[in-house]
A and B are shown apart, each in its own frame.
Chain A
C-alpha cells in the first residue's frame, strides 16, 4: 500500500482551484484563433477577440477568467493500492477547495437552495470518485459556472429514436438556450447508463480537450455533425449572430437498459476550465 496524506491532497486541490480559475486551456485559445479567422460576422470576431484578451489578462494578472468561478466539481481516480492517511478524505477535498477559493480571490457561489444563504467558502464540493488499479491518485477539477449549467438537460428518449433522436434533442436544446449560456459553448453529451449516469457522462465528456474526438467512429461523426448543425443556427458568440455558437461537441456513451435511451446535454461556456494533477 502507498500512503497519501490528506495534507498533500489539500495542497494539490488548493493549487488546482487557482490554476483552473485563472488559466484557460491552450485548446480553448486555439479554438478562439480559429473562430477569429473563420467567423463571417464582424461582431462575432470582435467578441472572440475580447474573450482572448480577457484570458490573457487573467493569466498575466492571475485573476479569475470569469467572475463565476463555479462550483468545484472534482473527478478523482483513486488507485486501489492507495491508503489515505492523516484525516477524512472528503473533508480534505473540501479544505482544498476552501483554501483555493480564498487564496485565489475566487468567487464563492455555493448557497442553500431555498434560503439562498451563501455557505461562504464554496463548499461542499461535488466529488465523483472512481476506484482504479494502481497506487496513484488523479485529481481533476472542473469548476462549473451556473449560467451554462442552467441550460443543461437530461431526457429519457425512447429507444426507437436512435442516434438521430439524440442529435435532434441536442440541437433543439442549444437552439432554445440561445444567448443564455455565454456562447461560444462546448457541449458534453452523455448517452446511455441510467438517468443519473447519463448526466455524469455528459459532464465527464467536458474533461476532454476541444478537438479530441471520441475513438468510436460513429460517435466521432456524430460529434462533428452536431457541431455543424449547432453552428448553422446563427446564434453566434454572445448570441449577437455568427457562425461560432459552439467550439466543440463531445460524446460519451455506455450501455443502458433495454427499455431506455437516457441522454444528457451538459452545456459549458467558453470558460471551459479543467486542470488535473497526479499524486
Chain B
C-alpha cells in the first residue's frame, strides 16, 4: 500500500482530496451502517421531501449487516457487504454531502463519476474478515429502522478501522489498476 493515513470523521473536502487509490486508511470517530433495505427507505424519504433520520453531511456509510453481538461484545462479526446493490441509491446521498462509502466490490461508472463531482471516496474493507473488523468497533447503537434487524441503521464508534481507498475523487480505480498490474499473458 502506498501510504498509511489516519482520519477522523466527519470528513472535509480537504480530507478526501488527499487520498489516492491503494492508500491504507485508519478511520476513527462515528460511521453509520446501512445496506439494501435501509438505503431504499432513505431514498423513499427524500422522494417524499422528508428529512433523513441521520445527518449525512461529512459522514461515512458502511455497507454492513452485522452478526448479533455476544454478551460483552459491542457488535458481532461485521465485514462489508457487496456494494453494487447500493449503486442505485448512492448518488442521492452524495448530493447531501456524504463523504465516504465503505464496502467491497465494483461500483457502477455513474457512481464513480458522481464521486468525482461530489468529492466522495469509496473505501474497501476486507470482505469476510468480520471477526477481525469487529475489534475496531467500540460502540454500536441502532439509530433507525430497528425492525430491519441486521439491516437497521447503526451509529458506530470506531477506532483505527482499517480500509483501503478503492475509488478516489479523481476517478482512480484500484480494481482496474490492481488487475492490470498482475494480469498475465
Contacts and interface: CB of A to CB of B under 8 A. Distances in A.
Given A47-B126, A57-B135, A105-B69, A180 B82 contact: yes
Contact of B179 (A57, A147, A235): A235
Interface in A27-45: 40-44
Contacts of B179: 178, 233-236, 239, 241
Contact of A180 (B64, B84, B126, B180): B84
A63 interface: yes
Interface residues of B, number: 50
A216 to B, nearest CB: 27
A107 B180 contact: no
Interface residues of A, number: 52
Interface in B7-28: 22
B67 A105 contact: yes
A232 B128 contact: no
B34 to A, nearest CB: 14
Contacts of A92: none
Given A61-B131, A147-B82, A180-B106, A240 B183 contact: no
Question: What does DSSP make chain A's interface, helix, strand, loop or mixed?
Answer: loop
Given A57-B132, A116-B37, A239 B183 contact: no
A3 interface: no
B97 interface: no
Contacts of B66: 67, 107
A179 B179 CA distance: 10
B129 interface: yes
In this complex, the member of A54, A233, A240 whose beta carbon has the largest number of chain B beta carbons within 10 angstroms is: A240
B53 interface: no
A67 B76 contact: yes
Given A64-B67, A105-B70, A234-B184, 5 more contacts: A106-B68, A179-B175, A240-B124, A240-B175, A241-B179
